[in-house]
Amino acid sequence: MRVLVFNAGSSSLKFGVFDTGPGADAETVQCFKGSFERFRDGQCSYRYCAAARDEAGEAPHPDLSAAIAAVPDVLAEWGIDGIDAIGHRIAHGGPDFSAPARLDAETLERIEALTPLAPLHNPANLEAVHMAINVWPDLPQLGVFDTAYHLTNPARATTYAVPRAWRDAGLRRYGFHGTSHKYVAERAAQEIGQPVNSLKIISVHLGNGASACAVNLGQSMDSSMGLTPLEGLVMGTRSGDVDPGAFGFLSRQLGLSIEEIETALYTESGLKALAGSSDMRDVEDRAAAGDSEAQLAINLYAYRVRKYIGAYAAAMGGLDAVVFTGGIGENSASMRRRICDGLEFMGLRLDHDLNQAVQLENRAAPQIQAYGAKVRVIVTETAEQLQIAREVARLMARAETVGMPIPVAVSARHVHLSAEAVEALFGKGYELTPGKPLRQPGNWAAQERVSVEGPKGSLERVAILGPLRKKTQIEVSRTDSFALGIDAPVRDSGQLDGTPRVRLHGPAGSIDTDGLIVAARHIHISPEDARARGLNDGDYVEVRITGPERGLTFTHTLIRVQPGAFTEMHIDTDEANAAGIQADSEGELVPGVAAEAVALGGRR
Ligand code: ADP
C-alpha cells in the first residue's frame, strides 16, 4: 500500500510517501520526502528528495492550502503515483481519539470541537485535511493523533488536582509526541531483542518541542507534556514546567494579560529566553565560548530531563532503557552525557566513546551504555511520518474486516498456580484434578478451589485453571480488588513484575504470593485467523458489543496470536456487566474510536 503523509504546521508543511508491505510488521519504505517552509514570511522554500535525487529552492506558495494544492504536480514530476490513502498528523485528539480514525464529516466536526485545547496546532492540521479532501476526493483520509498513545495513562497521571468544574470542562493532562514515543520505544525494544510489552522504557524526545514519556510494558504510562504542549521539559521557545501562580504574579507585578503571558510561555521562553537562541547548536557554541547565560540554559535543560528520568523510573518501579531522539537527542552527544551523568546510582552509565560515535543512518538504534550497565541507553532517529504511514496501513487492512464477529467469553475470577504453590496449598506431591476443559486447547478448570485473602476481605472458592504455570497469577476484577482491599494493576497475562502480594488458602496450607492482576482484555486468535483479519500479535483493536439492553465498544483490546488458539475475546465480569453480557456472546471489530471506553482499561 502506498501512503501519502502530511504533517502540517502554521508556517510549514512536511510530507512523505511510504510503501508499506503486506502485513503490519512488513517493512515500510519511504520513497519520497518533501517540505515547504516559512510560507508566512512570503519566502517559501522547498526541498524534495527521493532515492539519489535531492533538490531545494524557492516556491511561490503564500499559505498552507496553496502548498498542498501544489503536491500533485510535484509527485507527478518525481514519478510518484498510485497513492492508496492519505495520513494526516493531528496534534490533539482530546479524550476521544485513542486510535487512528477515518476523517469523515462527523470525525472532522469532533476534531474541530477540540480546537480550544490546541489553538496553535489543530487549525493548521484541519486546514490541511480539508484541502487534501478537495485535491484527492476519492482517496481515504485518515488522522493519526499525537495524544492517542497517551490515552492509556492512568487517571493518577492525567488528573490535575483542581476544582471538579474545571475537570468537567476538560482540564486534564494529555501528553503529545505520542507517535514519536511509540515509534522509538518499539524501535528500542526491537534493538534490545525483547517484546516492548516486557520492558520499562523512558523515551526522551528533544527537538524544538521536547517531552519525556514513561513507556511501561508497551504502554504510555505518563508523559511530561500536559493539557497543552507547554508543560514539562525546557524547549526551544516554550517554558516547560512553571508554577501556575506565575499568572497572578505577572498580572499584578507587570500588568500582563492572560494572552500576553500565554504567548510568551509558548514563543518567548525556553532556550530563547535563557540564552537568546532557540537553537541548541547556538546555545552549545556560546556556552563553550564562556557565555554564562548559555551555560545556565544548558545546565537547566539537562537537569530538567534528568529529573523526569528519575521520576519515571520511580513511577514504573524500574527501568530497562532510556531512548534519546529528536534533533538534540539524536545529535548532541554532550547533552546526552550531561543528562546521564549522575544517574549511575540507578544503573544508568554511558560509554563515552560510544556516545561520541553515534551514527544513525538506515534507522540504526545504537546502544551507548557502558559495558555491564543495568540500564540500556539507545539513540535513534524519530520517524513520525513513517509511523503514521504504518498506522494508516493497519487501519486500512483492518477496515476490511470490520463487522467480522468475535466470540466473547467472560472470565470470572481465577488463579493459575505454580507447582510449588500447589504443594503448599494442597500438600506435598498433590496433583490437581482436571475438570471441565476450556475452549483454549489444552486448558482446563480444576475441580479444586482456593480462597484469596486481602487486608479488607476474602474471595472464597476461587477457580483454579490448568495447566500449571511457572509463576502463580491471580486474576480478579476491579470490583474484586476493592473487596480484597488491594490496588491490582491492569496487566497482560504473565506480566507480573511488581504486582501486589495477596494470601492464598488451600486445605493443606497458605501462601503469600505476588501476581495479583486485573487481566487486560484480550483476543486469543490463531495465526491463520489473524492473517485473514489483518491483525498481528500485540496489536490493539476495538470491539463493539451490541446487546438488547446495554452494549459497549471496548477500546484497547490486545491481540494475542497463538498457534492453535480458538478465536475468542476474554473480558472480566465487570466488563461483561457493563456491556450487559449474560453468558457467551459476540462482538464485532470496529475501526474507529470510542470516547467512553478509554478510561475502562486504565488504572486509577
Ligand atoms: P522539531 O521538533 O521541530 O522536529 P528537531 O527534532 O529537528 O525539531 O530538533 C531541532 C533542535 O535540534 C534544534 O534545537 C537544533 O539546534 C537541535 N540540533 C540539531 N542538530 C544538533 C547538533 N548537532 N547538536 C546540538 N543540537 C542540534
Which range among 117-131, 224-238, 339-353 shows the weakest confidence by mean pLDDT? 117-131
> What pLDDT is stored for residue 134 in this prediction?
96
With a cut of 90, say whether residue 111 has pLDDT above it.
yes
Residues written for the chain:
604
pLDDT-derived band at 598 (thresholds 50, 70, 90) equals: very low
The average pLDDT across 378-385 equals: 96
With a cut of 50, say whether residue 458 has pLDDT above it.
yes
Digit-coded pLDDT (tens) for 401-450? 667 788 898 889 999 999 999 999 999 999 999 998 988 888 999 999 99
Is there an atom of ligand 1 within 6 Å of 9 CB?
Answer: no
With a cut of 90, say whether residue 502 has pLDDT above it.
yes
**Which ranges constitute the DSSP H helices of 317-371?**
326-331, 333-340, 352-356
pTM across the whole model: 0.78
SS (H, E, C) 20-43: ECCCCCCCEEEEEEEEEECCCCCC
Beta strand extents in 191-237 (DSSP E only): 200-206, 210-216, 219-223
The average pLDDT across 168-195 equals: 95
Is there an atom of ligand 1 within 6 Å of 326 CB?
Answer: yes
What is the gyration radius of the CA atoms in the chain, in angstroms?
A: 26
Decide which of 43 and 245 is more confident.
245
With a cut of 70, say whether residue 603 has pLDDT above it.
no
- For atom 12 of ligand 1, which residue has the closest CA? 327
Give the DSSP H/E element, type plus range, for residue 531.
helix 527-532
> What pLDDT is stored for residue 26 in this prediction?
58
C-alpha cell at 37: 517552509
The average pLDDT across 197-220 equals: 96
With a cut of 90, say whether residue 304 has pLDDT above it.
yes
With a cut of 60, say whether residue 594 has pLDDT above it.
no
Is there an atom of ligand 1 within 6 Å of 327 CB?
Answer: yes
Sequence-distant (≥ 6) Cβ neighbours of residue 194 within 8 angstroms:
none
pLDDT-derived band at 219 (thresholds 50, 70, 90) equals: very high
Relative to the CA of 382, which ligand 1 atom is closest?
6
Digit-coded pLDDT (tens) for 465-489? 999 999 999 999 999 999 999 999 9
Give the DSSP H/E element, type plus range, for residue 190.
helix 178-192
pLDDT-derived band at 48 (thresholds 50, 70, 90) equals: very high
With a cut of 60, say whether residue 36 has pLDDT above it.
yes
CA 129 → CA 49, 135, 248, distances in Å?
23, 10, 39
Is there an atom of ligand 1 within 6 Å of 285 CB?
Answer: no
Decide which of 25 and 290 is more confident.
290
- For atom 22 of ligand 1, which residue has the closest CA? 331
Relative to the CA of 284, which ligand 1 atom is closest?
25
Q: Contacts by 67-75 with C-beta closer than 8 Å and gap 24+?
A: 67/13, 67/36, 67/39, 68/6, 68/8, 68/13, 68/128, 68/131, 68/132, 68/135, 69/131, 69/135, 70/36, 71/4, 71/15, 71/34, 71/135, 72/135, 72/136, 74/34, 74/48, 75/4, 75/17, 75/32
With a cut of 80, say whether residue 41 has pLDDT above it.
no
Report the phi/psi class of residue 62: left, alpha or beta, with left for phi > 0 and alpha for psi in -120 to 50.
alpha
> What pLDDT is stored for residue 528 in this prediction?
81
3-state helix, strand, coil in the chain (%, to 5): 35, 25, 40
* Distance of CA 152 from the midpoint of ligand 1 (Å): 29
The residue whose grid cell reads 496449598 is 425
Is there an atom of ligand 1 within 6 Å of 329 CB?
Answer: no
- For atom 27 of ligand 1, which residue has the closest CA? 328
Neighbouring CB atoms inside 10 A of 566's CB total 16
Mutate to test the pocket of ligand 1, among 280, 336, 385 (most ligand atoms within 8 A of CB): 280
Which are the catalytic amino acids? 146
With a cut of 80, say whether residue 591 has pLDDT above it.
no
The phi, psi pair for 11, rounded to 5°, reads -130, 10
Relative to the CA of 282, which ligand 1 atom is closest?
16
DSSP line for 72-105: HHHHHHTT-----EEEEEES--TTT-SS-EE--H
C-alpha cell at 114: 477540540
Is there an atom of ligand 1 within 6 Å of 279 CB?
Answer: yes
The average pLDDT across 112-123 equals: 89
**Which ranges constitute the DSSP H helices of 333-442?**
333-340, 352-356, 384-399, 419-426
Digit-coded pLDDT (tens) for 528-563? 888 777 677 887 888 888 776 788 989 888 889 888
CA 171 – CA 225 distance, rounded (Å): 13
Mean pLDDT of the chain: 91
With a cut of 60, say whether residue 396 has pLDDT above it.
yes
* Torsion sign over Cα 580, 584, 588, 593: positive
Relative to the CA of 326, which ligand 1 atom is closest?
6
CA 26 → CA 21, 29, 373, 395, 409, distances in Å?
5, 10, 33, 15, 31
* Distance of CA 172 from the midpoint of ligand 1 (Å): 29
Share of the chain above pLDDT 70, in %: 95
- The answer to whether 136 and 179 have CB atoms below 8 angstroms apart is no
- For atom 21 of ligand 1, which residue has the closest CA? 331
Give the DSSP H/E element, type plus range, for residue 248.
helix 246-254
Mutate to test the pocket of ligand 1, among 233, 298, 328, 385 (most ligand atoms within 8 A of CB): 328
The residue whose grid cell reads 500500500 is 1
The average pLDDT across 17-30 equals: 76
> What pLDDT is stored for residue 592 in this prediction?
45
Digit-coded pLDDT (tens) for 312-366? 999 999 999 999 999 999 999 999 999 999 999 999 999 999 999 999 998 899 9
Digit-coded pLDDT (tens) for 255-268? 999 999 999 999 99
Decide which of 255 and 526 is more confident.
255
